[in-house]
Amino acid sequence: MPRSQRICPIGIPQHVIQRGNNRHLCFTSEQDFKAYARWLKEHSRKFNVEIHAWVLMTNHVHLLFTP
């Protein structure tokens, strides 16, 4: 059964955690971290999302943002 759609109201800060499948590594090199940060910046501008804080760990990511 698919997961219910999440409600993401505009103007309300959201905390999102992204983990690797079965907690496997998401990032294996410094280049991976840099690419993710670049995409985060690029897409936050494209979709008008304000990024307040972010933490990139080897096997997961924390984002605090407001759509």
Whether residue 58 contacts residue 25, with contact meaning beta carbons closer than 8 Å, is answered with: yes
Which amino acid would we find at residue 6?
R
Q: 36: helix, coil or strand?
A: helix
Structural domain total, the chain? 1
8 within domain boundaries: no
Domain that holds residue 42: 30-67
**pLDDT of 6 strictly over 90:** no
Q: Supply the pLDDT for residue 16.
A: 92
Q: What is the mean pLDDT of residues 17-41?
A: 94
Q: What is the mean pLDDT of residues 2-6?
A: 81
16 within domain boundaries: no
Provide the token pair at 54.
């972010």
